Chains A and B, each alone.
Chain A
């Protein structure tokens, strides 16, 4: 069974690393390829916009047993598109994950399931005659707990976003280094597809 479902994850061996990266085509591949090549195991990786235009934020949960986190950080830094790396495991952090869970149910047991959802503060976001979708936000323990409780009913589908995290308090892990306008403009389109009709030629 997938260890992330039965709740037996080894929390102690994980590192939560946040990388602030240039929002450019290929950056995800560069990071993923680095992890594969160096043999660093990724437990989860999420990426999305950050508060700064042109910069994305990646949260990578690394299996600490597969690599010293220091090497992970240093190797990440070597990628030109990676601007800043922080190991949040060293900090007091808030870590969250969102999960959608499609659970089998019927008229008899639906009520019980709704009770469980309630205890875990999960939202019911869809309901059909023989299934419902629960949405829950929380840390992995809470999510693992909910998943475990739902298992007897039959989990039809499970989708987890992977962890996102932030340091508690006023401290941040962001980058305050806007680029000169011209360079920002260049970096904004660099490597991106051009829209519209393009010439055709076969060589």
Chain B
């Protein structure tokens, strides 16, 4: 055992946990840690421009790679700036490890300069958090936190360390084992329940699989394909489940929900059996709960028992990791063909294609996404902000692999796009990474462009510039009698902004310039920004209006299609 300072212990422990990157921002109380960083050359520190960016970068890193992302902030404002990012990963169950400094122990609880009770503040948005009061407690605290973060249903954790604990020395004793009496995720799945689920699948005539984010986190996409093919079950995903099942597959019918495909919503609403895998029946996915497909039976596979029965009664609950449950379920299902049922959905899709892009001289945002899809051969990692552009990115790019779409679903955090793309690019340096940004959301975190330059990252920024908080404008137009209040925005010259940061930029004003600009961006080795001045009035369709049921999905009205 060696004697180390608390700061050394933190970095030593993180390194042992396999951490290679920390997204952080310094301040008084974390100076001992920054002072120690050069002793750990295997840990790369990425200096962000706002702590919210650090948390989103850690999140993007985690979502793109499956590994734990780490962010760091100083006490007080540094810590509170992380909160939006922590909550973003909390809502979407992603493994983010937040490290914060706090005031020296003698000042804790006395409103010391820049003291914030960050463990108290984050109780309800972390899986667990730690206030570490002694240096010798650092290794086990970090080990436990990292374990909790990445196992079971993943989720953010926070470790808060007072300044003098970083400075004090103690024996470094790396725990060989951990023992958490109160934390034992169920991963196997109950054999009897799996048998009952198989029986229901074997009897069903209109089964549908709704695959969610948990399939991606369980790394269970291959197992999902196997089950779907064997029992011939059509697959739709949630918005966060995009990529859990290849969208090019014959059995793929897109994603459901508020802006999901019409036929996906109808399929969910007409099925006699829903097999929900790693999804939590979010209201945006399901529409008005009480009128969702009356009479349907639900098999729910989820690693978190609390999700089962939370929003819908379940016929067969299976608590476990999709990775373990799906092969066992496949074994017990009989090979089947559901021609009639698939024929019915195919017919709906033919009559209501949802993803058809109309001919138009305008630069439709859907067209931009589709062109990007074609130009990148559908291989790029797409990271989005929140709003209309997010929905179009989900609809008009077709995803073939898990982790290909990185997007904030549950919290819907504008400003996620650029920092999350930076995290994703650092996690996968060779992946072509596009940040599809709203012109509104981009302005919430655009200062992180500096990080692109610092770290020389080839992220492609596509600003969907509609001069509006488009999604809100759409709601005002549809549900508030076209009373557009505070949603039009005078935008800065995004190209000049990029230029100011030393980033090349292209302005695209016409449809004809779209593909060439994308090509130019792809050829350019470094970061680049494209300001797509898209049609301003376009709305996202189909739509399940707020409070409506999936069966009430509305398609684009004729007058909009005539524009």
Residues in chain A within 8 A of chain B (CB atoms): 21-22, 25-26, 29-30, 33-34, 37, 68, 70-71, 74-75, 77-83, 175, 177, 179-180, 182-183, 186, 189-194, 198-203
Contacts and interface: CB of A to CB of B under 8 A. Distances in A.
Contacts of B321: none
A74 B310 CA distance: 10
Contacts of B482: none
Given A189-B137, A194-B105, A80 B29 contact: no
A80 B180 CA distance: 8
B106 interface: yes
Contacts of A37: 124
A111 B360 CA distance: 95
A87 B306 CA distance: 16
Given A71-B310, A194-B134, 11 more contacts: A26-B131, A70-B309, A80-B180, A80-B183, A83-B182, A183-B140, A191-B132, A193-B133, A203-B103, A203-B104, A203-B113
Contacts of A192: 133
B484 interface: no
Given A194-B133, A203-B31, A80 B127 contact: yes
Interface string B300-316: 00001110011000000
B181 A83 contact: yes
Contacts of A25: 131
B128 interface: yes
Contact of B164 (A68, A80, A198): A198
A22 B120 contact: no
Contacts of B373: none
Given A74-B305, A200-B106, A29 B120 contact: yes
Interface in B128-180: 128, 130-134, 137, 140-141, 148, 163-164, 167, 175, 177-180
Most chain A CB within a 10 A radius of its CB, from B177, B181, B306: B181
27 contacts: A26-B120, A26-B131, A34-B124, A70-B309, A77-B306, A78-B127, A80-B128, A80-B180, A177-B181, A180-B177, A183-B140, A183-B175, A190-B137, A190-B141, A191-B130, A191-B131, A193-B105, A194-B134, A199-B164, A200-B106, A200-B107, A201-B163, A201-B164, A202-B113, A203-B28, A203-B104, A203-B163
Interface in B222-244: none
B395 interface: no
Interface in B297-340: 304-306, 309-310
Interface in B66-121: 75, 103-107, 112-114, 119-120
B123 interface: yes
B305 A77 contact: yes
Interface size class of B (residues with CB under 8 A): 35 or more
A26 to B, nearest CB: 7
B106 A80 contact: no
Contacts of A78: 127, 304, 306
Contact of A203 (B29, B119, B183, B310): B29
A84 to B, nearest CB: 8
Contact of A186 (B27, B120, B137): B137
A71 B175 contact: no
Contacts of B28: 203
B308 to A, nearest CB: 8
7 closest Cβ pairs, A-B complex: A203-B28, A74-B306, A198-B106, A83-B182, A80-B128, A83-B181, A183-B179
Given A80-B180, A183-B179, A199-B104, A190 B130 contact: yes
Nearest to B28: A203
Contacts of B127: 78, 80
B337 to A, nearest CB: 38
Contacts of B107: 200, 202
B26 to A, nearest CB: 11
A82 B180 CA distance: 10
A79 B131 CA distance: 16
Q: Which of A79, A80, A177 has the most CB of B within 10 A?
A: A80
Contacts of B183: 80
Choose among B75, B104, B167 the residue with the greatest number of A CB atoms under 10 Å from its CB.
B104
B140 A202 contact: no
A68 B148 CA distance: 27
Contacts of B75: 203
B508 to A, nearest CB: 45
A202 B305 CA distance: 46
A186 B181 contact: no
Contacts of A33: 123-124
Contacts of B304: 78
Contacts of A190: 130, 132-133, 137, 141
Given A198-B164, A200-B106, A82 B112 contact: no
B22 to A, nearest CB: 20
Nearest to A32: B123
Contacts of A30: 123
Looking at B119, B133, B163, which has the most chain A CB atoms within 10 Å of its CB?
B133
Nearest to B173: A182
Contacts of A201: 104, 163-164
Nearest to B106: A198
Given A22-B181, A79-B182, A71 B306 contact: yes
Contacts of A83: 181-182
Contacts of A80: 127-128, 148, 180, 182-183
Contacts of B309: 68, 70-71
A200 B306 contact: no
B133 A191 contact: yes
B133 A179 contact: no
Given A29-B123, A190-B137, A192-B133, A175 B181 contact: yes
Contacts of A77: 305-306
B91 to A, nearest CB: 13
Nearest to A22: B182
B138 to A, nearest CB: 11
A198 B182 contact: no
Given A80-B182, A177-B181, A201-B164, A189 B134 contact: yes
A190 B28 CA distance: 24
A50 B27 CA distance: 43
Contacts of B31: 203
Contact of A82 (B137, B177, B182): B182
A30 B132 CA distance: 17
Nearest to A178: B181
A199 B175 CA distance: 28
Interface in B513-563: none
Given A33-B123, A83-B181, A83-B182, A203 B114 contact: yes
